[in-house]
């Protein structure tokens, strides 16, 4: 029986104190604490890593501060196109959905794809139909609305421009959410969810629902969830690359995360970060941006909540 561990994120980017009021900062910290406490309590009570990761991400999806589920950004057609993926480290089973509308918690739909279908990924209307068949909770368009995200879209909706969440005042935030967990039995799991980029068009899909790019879990190495500009993360296969460095080069978790985020990704001009956990319960919260909404707890150690990078 191993110790438990959990790490989560609410997105990375140009997150600076000068853009944050004390009230807004406290709201983000409270959101991170709520999600971490939920997942950590489940793990301490003996829940499986997969269950804890899903529950943690559902909590973040339900919080309009983050770009996933409720409060997701607007796509070019004025709807909310949601992506999610989940993976378990003991069997390497995985599920993912991309470009879905009206599903209250896309991460739960991704899990149903993994457990109740013969597939790994479903997209668009087919995934939505599968979700209704499986009895997943639906939500009307107004449920996902957020005034800030709507105004961001209004300013660019008649152009081919896309922007990142909270891109006002020079900010560049990649507001994906994710959670990685280690349970008492030594099993790892990861879960990721996002609304993508404001005004995205042509069915654009980032790294979040792509197994190996945005999410990966393997009991032999680690569980990883990513947040960043999706295209470089896909090209670098970031989540799986971290696992490979541990498996084939013998790197420890932090060294592998540092190598990928601070060298490989930067060579591709990629911005963002990862959260990761290994079978020994070590966590990594690694990013090459000015900040990342993040939280973690290893075993019975003190929980960590952070927003900004080193000053």
By annotation, the residues acting in catalysis are 176
φ, ψ of residue 128 to 5 degrees: the values are -65, -45
Q: Residue 245: which residues within 8 A CB-CB, separation 6 or more? A: 251, 255, 256, 259, 260
Cβ(228)–Cβ(271) below 8 Å: yes
Reading the block at residue 176, the tokens are 């994906």
Angle at 238 between CA 232 and CA 244, to 5 degrees: 145
Burial class (CB in 10 A: 0-12, 13-18, 19+), 210: buried
Rounded CA separation 182/174 (Å): 25
Give me the half-sphere count of Cα atoms (radius 13 Å) on the Cβ side of residue 291: 20
- Biggest alpha carbon distance in the chain? 56
What is the spatial distance between Cα 249 and Cα 97, in angstroms, rounded to a whole number? Answer: 32
Strand locations in 143-203, DSSP E?
Answer: 173-174, 177-182, 188-194
């Amino acid at each position: 029986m191993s110790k438990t561990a959990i790490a989560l994120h609410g997105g990375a980017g140009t997150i600076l104190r000068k853009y944050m009021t004390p009230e807004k900062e406290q709201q983000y910290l409270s959101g991170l604490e709520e999600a971490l406490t939920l997942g950590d309590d489940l793990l301490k009570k003996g829940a499986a890593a997969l269950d804890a990761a899903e529950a943690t991400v559902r909590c973040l999806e339900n919080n309009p501060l983050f770009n996933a589920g409720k409060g997701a950004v607007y796509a070019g057609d004025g709807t909310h196109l949601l992506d999610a993926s989940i993976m378990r480290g003991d069997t390497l089973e995985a599920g993912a959905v991309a470009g879905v509308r009206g599903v209250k918690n896309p991460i739960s739909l991704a899990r149903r794809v993994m457990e109740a279908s013969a597939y790994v990924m479903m997209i668009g209307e087919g995934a939505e139909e599968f979700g209704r068949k499986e009895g997943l909770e639906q939500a009307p368009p107004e449920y996902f609305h957020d005034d800030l995200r709507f105004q961001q879209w209004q300013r660019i909706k008649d152009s081919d421009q896309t922007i990142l969440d909270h891109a006002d005042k020079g900010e560049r935030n990649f507001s994906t959410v994710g959670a990685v967990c280690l349970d008492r039995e030594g099993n790892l799991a990861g879960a990721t969810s996002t609304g993508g980029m404001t005004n995205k068009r042509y069915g654009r899909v980032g790294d979040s629902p792509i197994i190996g790019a945005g999410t990966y879990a393997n009991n032999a190495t680690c569980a990883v969830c990513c947040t960043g500009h999706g295209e470089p993360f896909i090209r670098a296969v970031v989540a799986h690359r971290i696992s490979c460095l541990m498996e084939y080069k013998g790197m420890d978790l932090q060294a592998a995360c540092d190598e990928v985020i601070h060298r490989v990704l930067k060579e591709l001009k990629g911005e963002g970060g990862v959260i990761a956990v290994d079978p020994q319960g070590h966590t990594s919260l690694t990013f090459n941006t000015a900040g990342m909404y993040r939280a973690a707890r290893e075993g019975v150690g003190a929980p960590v909540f952070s927003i900004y990078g080193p000053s």
